[in-house]
Amino acid sequence: MSSPAPDVIQRHRYTVEDYHRMTAAGILRQDQRVELIKGEIIDMMPIGSHHAATVRQLSKVLGLAVGDRAIVSVQDPVILDDHSEPEPDLALLHPKEDFYASGHPRPTDVLLIIEVADSSLIFDRDVKVPLYAHQGIPEVWLFDLGTKKLTVYSNPSKGGYRKVRILEKIDGLAVPLLKETTVNLSGVMGF
Question: Where do the domains of the chain lie?
Answer: 47-190
- Per-residue pLDDT tens for 124-162? 999 999 999 999 999 999 999 999 999 999 999 999 999
Among 4-13, 27-36, 92-101, the minimum mean pLDDT is found in: 4-13
- Per-residue pLDDT tens for 159-190? 999 999 999 887 788 888 888 888 888 888 76
Distances from the Cα of 24 to the Cα of 18, 21, 28, 35, 100, angstroms: 10, 5, 8, 15, 19
**Is domain 47-190 in CATH 3.90.1570.10, yes or no?**
yes
Distances from the Cα of 146 to the Cα of 34, 46, 116, angstroms: 23, 16, 10
Percent of the chain exceeding pLDDT 70 equals 95
